[in-house]
């Protein structure tokens, strides 16, 4: 009913008094900015006001001020002729939109906005809440991935529960609880897993396609130096993110690792976990110039091995910190002192400043109160968000065997969204 009434109004029909409705603007054409108008039919809260300009609509809704280009508004029309609601895909040919739209009319009612481009007369309707969620200004006020930043004490006090393996595998509730923990904290545990590679594989496939890499599909992890990597020794491993040397065509892709201790006959070997985003936020607060440099300077990371039948030479390029340009939200940390290649992508006048910035971040990552130490025992599987949480281990004695794999990030987030989580 509302859409029919609005379309009727926008076609220029007159009310019972014979006059156009007072809250429907005339076809303004290419005119100077119109005065700000309040929407009389909008709810008392949030309040709405708008102003027409030559090429865009300026709209304030609640606390959000939006500048909506006419071409953008036309391109994002969700009418049946422009958008296929069944497939959730655009039908409108963007290249056919007039890039010089300057003639526009605007109507408001029931918290909805309906701009009408003059040239083709097409009715383009929007809900104001939709515009807030999807406009550039709306995105600046939102975070892509809600999360809880933590140090060791914060995480312990939160008492984040592990999820039982059976609940994880057999119920949506258990899977959703696990994924919520994972999204908020960047780590999550599953208990009572049968300590075999096969059962670990079943666990991983519950939330994602397993990604096959140079390490295979499912890998065993022992101190036999079967690979050209420090991880395949009994030595301590400092905090790091994995696969910094991967460079996918579609962009940065650091897979999500899964670790499951199958056996340990000896001492030591605790796992170290550090919230890299928490540490980076401290750098931003204390020395924003260091944060900015770490987010701008690209570095090479490299993996070279020639052990047995394994011959690989991989290079990935990217800054230590990665932020979304529209809201400056940190979404990825790439930190691995083992695999960082020769620094030859940094101009001479920046090198020394970069080392100071790197030292500042390293100091935060190595603060004892940021270190969460966990003893992985048979039956306890750990999932790590490799874009956020750094991991390491202490040296150990005896025989220690882990198995694990890498999951594709897209599939994990896809599973979370299907369960109604923001990811």
- The predicted structure's pLDDT at residue 107: 67
Tokens representing 414 are 């896809």
Q: Which of 78, 65, 62, 64 is nearest to 115 (CA)?
A: 78
Residues of the chain with CATH 3.30.2020.30: 48-141
In sequence order, the 6+-apart residues with CB closer than 8 A to the CB of 160 are 181, 185, 188
CB-based contact 211:255 (threshold 8 Å): yes
**CATH fold of 152-419, please?**
Double-stranded beta-helix (3.60.130)
Domain covering 48-141 in this structure, CATH number? 3.30.2020.30
In sequence order, the 6+-apart residues with CB closer than 8 A to the CB of 107 are 6, 9, 10, 21, 23, 24, 25, 113, 114, 116
Q: Which runs of consecutive H residues, i.e. helices, occur in 76-196?
A: 128-134, 136-140, 152-158, 165-170, 172-185
- The predicted structure's pLDDT at residue 52: 87
pLDDT in tens, the chain (423 residues): 333 333 322 333 333 333 222 222 323 333 333 333 334 444 455 778 888 888 898 998 888 899 999 899 889 988 899 999 999 999 999 999 889 887 677 766 656 666 655 556 787 778 888 888 899 888 887 777 889 999 999 999 999 999 999 999 999 999 999 999 999 999 999 999 999 999 999 999 999 999 888 888 998 877 666 655 677 788 999 999 998 888 753 334 556 899 999 999 999 999 999 999 999 999 999 999 999 999 999 999 988 888 878 888 988 889 999 999 888 899 999 999 988 998 988 889 999 999 999 999 999 999 999 999 999 999 999 999 999 999 999 999 999 999 999 999 999 999 999 999 998
Residue 25: cis peptide before it, omega within 30 degrees of 0: no
CB-based contact 241:390 (threshold 8 Å): yes
What 3-state class would DSSP assign to 321? strand
CA quadruple 227, 230, 236, 237: dihedral, nearest 10: -110
d(CA 117, CA 123): 8
- The predicted structure's pLDDT at residue 30: 35
Residues of the chain with CATH 3.60.130.10: 152-419
- The predicted structure's pLDDT at residue 127: 85
CB-based contact 147:183 (threshold 8 Å): yes
d(CA 275, CA 256): 15
Sign of CA dihedral 81, 83, 84, 90: positive
- The predicted structure's pLDDT at residue 226: 62
Q: Is the pTM of this model over 0.85?
A: no
DSSP state of 36: P
d(CA 28, CA 248): 49
Q: Which of 114, 2, 97, 101 is nearest to 50 (CA)?
A: 114
């Amino acid at each position: 009913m509302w859409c029919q009434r609005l379309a009727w109004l926008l076609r220029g029909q007159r009310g019972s008094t014979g006059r156009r409705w007072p809250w429907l603007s005339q076809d303004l054409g290419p005119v100077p900015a119109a005065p700000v108008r309040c929407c009389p039919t909008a709810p008392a809260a949030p309040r709405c006001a708008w102003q027409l300009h030559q090429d865009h609509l300026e709209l304030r809704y609640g606390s959000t001020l939006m500048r909506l280009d006419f071409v953008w508004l036309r391109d994002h029309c969700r009418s049946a002729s422009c958008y296929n609601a069944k497939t959730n895909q655009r039908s409108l040919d963007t290249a056919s939109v007039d890039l010089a739209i300057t003639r526009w009319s605007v109507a408001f009612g029931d918290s909805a906005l309906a701009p009408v481009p003059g040239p083709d007369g097409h009715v383009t309707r929007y809900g104001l809440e939709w515009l807030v969620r999807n406009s550039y200004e709306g995105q600046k006020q939102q975070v892509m991935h809600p999360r809880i930043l933590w140090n060791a004490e914060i995480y312990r006090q939160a008492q984040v529960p592990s999820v039982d393996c059976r609940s994880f595998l057999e119920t949506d509730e258990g899977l959703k609880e696990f994924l919520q923990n994972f999204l908020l904290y960047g780590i999550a545990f599953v208990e009572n897993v049968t300590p075999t590679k096969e059962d670990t594989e079943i666990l991983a496939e519950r939330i994602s396609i397993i990604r096959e890499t140079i390490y295979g599909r499912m890998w065993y992890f022992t101190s036999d130096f079967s690979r050209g990597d420090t991880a395949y020794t009994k030595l301590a491993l400092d905090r790091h993110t994995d696969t910094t040397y991967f460079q996918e065509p579609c962009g940065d892709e650091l897979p999500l690792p899964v670790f499951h201790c199958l056996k340990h006959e000896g001492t030591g070997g605790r796992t170290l976990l550090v919230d890299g985003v928490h540490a980076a936020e401290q750098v931003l607060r204390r020395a924003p110039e260091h944060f900015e440099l770490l987010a701008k300077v690209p570095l090479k990371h490299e993996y070279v091995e020639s052990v047995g039948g394994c011959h690989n030479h991989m290079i990935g390029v990217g800054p230590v910190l990665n932020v979304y340009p529209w809201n400056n939200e940190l979404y990825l940390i790439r930190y691995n002192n083992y695999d960082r290649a020769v620094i030859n992508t940094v101009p001479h006048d920046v090198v020394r400043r970069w080392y100071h910035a790197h030292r500042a971040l390293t100091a935060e990552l190595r603060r004892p109160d940021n270190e969460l130490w966990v003893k992985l025992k048979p039956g306890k599987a750990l999932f790590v968000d490799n874009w956020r949480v750094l991991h390491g281990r202490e040296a150990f004695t005896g025989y220690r065997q882990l198995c694990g794999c890498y999951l594709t990030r897209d599939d994990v987030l896809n599973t979370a969204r299907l369960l109604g989580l923001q990811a």
